[in-house]
Amino acid sequence: MQTPTIPHNPSSTFPPKSHHTQLKLLPKLHLLPQSLFYRPPKMASLGGFGFGVRSPVVGGGASSSSSSSSGVDTNGLCTLTEYVGKEGMNVGDDMVVLLHHIQYACKRIAALVASPFNSSLGKQNTLAGTGTGSGRDAPKPLDIVSNEIILSSLRSSGKVAVMASEEDDTPIWLTDDGPFVVVTDPLDGSRNIDASIPTGTIFGIYNRLVEVDHLPNEEKALLNSLQAGARLVAAGYVLYSSATILCTSFGSGTHAFTLDHSTGDFILTHPSIKIPPRGQIYSVNDARYFDWPEGLRRYIDTLRQGKGRYPKKYSARYICSLVADLHRTLMYGGVAMNPRNHLRLVYEANPLSFLVEQAGGRGSDGKSRILSIQPVKLHQRLPLFLGSLEDMEELESYGDVQQRVNPGYEV
């Protein structure tokens, strides 16, 4: 039987023909390296990989082992594509193709944020009348370019029916026979990029709802995008920092892969991450302490004084980049939070909560499990608390931890 191959459409170009006419408003876009916009190389097949062993995998994270439940030997090098393929987790050919395009897009975004030309692009005025944010959250040029890179890759994969992005007002219907739905925050933390603070990409993957295929494209695109987090089949984030790390889960543990820039491969470095049941770090913007409800103030005061269930004083670590703060929390334990009604359920809270739960932690809005919340709006916002199971249980025991007002703060 012939081994399936990656679909390739020679007529597909970047930027794609889409509703993003705002790209025409970026006069310095041509200054960016053209390699950002090349199509991914065509994979020969999904059955044979031909990757040579170059050096041992470096063990890391909260937990690592010489082998994993997937059957992949982690004593030697293992790429992301190998890990999810037939000799590894065997997530299915369609998912392998999709992941190939997602990791390609994220490598292009990694090059974008590290480029010396992004400074010129980032200093252009925020694009008026685009996206869903306002004020501090209004789309930046780098957000828009990152969004287009992901859209182009998902369209080229041929495996995605719907893409819903934080940067778009409505979801985009891509193809009738795509088996998957992808939700994404293309470039989280972009407003801090001029200070070289870590940024990230967040994504979640659902199965397409075939039961609504008969509806008009706009309606079925929205219904597919508003699936509860409990229906996720995969999720991940990519951290752009001193290393580029892709952390993902397919419902059987959370695993992290580090980009080898010499080969372009994501290499398994943190198999089967287990978040410690309790950490000694909390992450929150406590400059807003006096805007918090009484329950949250008491909880943080207790941690600072070492008078909680864990009789040691906690340390504060806050980057103000959601992906970076969560990645540290996965590695070391503790709790990362934004108590304001601010983070988006569909694009941020659901995918990250899925990853945390698969690592043995918990994602909550302060009262309820995130993955059990049914979205009612595409850009629905809520408080978000992520972290170690025992820390999260202690936090929720204080009851009133959700900040409902934002005096003197521009959303």
Active-site positions read 137, 143, 166-167, 185, 187-188, 348
| H or E element at residue 95 | helix 93-114
CB atoms within 10 A of CB 71: 11
Closest CA to 112 of 203, 58, 33, 6: 33
Cα separation, 394 vs 299, in Å, equals 8
How distant is the alpha carbon of residue 365 from its chain centre? Answer: 18
* Integer Cα distance of 397 and 366 in angstroms: 9
User: E strands along 241-373, which residues?
Assistant: 244-249, 254-260, 265-270, 281-283, 315-316, 335-344, 362-364
Are the C-beta atoms of 179 and 208 separated by less than 8 Å? Answer: yes
Phi and psi at residue 288, in whole multiples of 5°?
-95, 20
Give Cα separations from 357 to 28, 99, 200, 272, 309 (angstroms).
42, 21, 20, 12, 22
Report which residue type is found at 403: Q
196 CB-near residues (< 8 Å, 6+ apart): none
Residue 355 DSSP symbol: H
The whole-angstrom separation of Cα 213 and Cα 313 is: 54
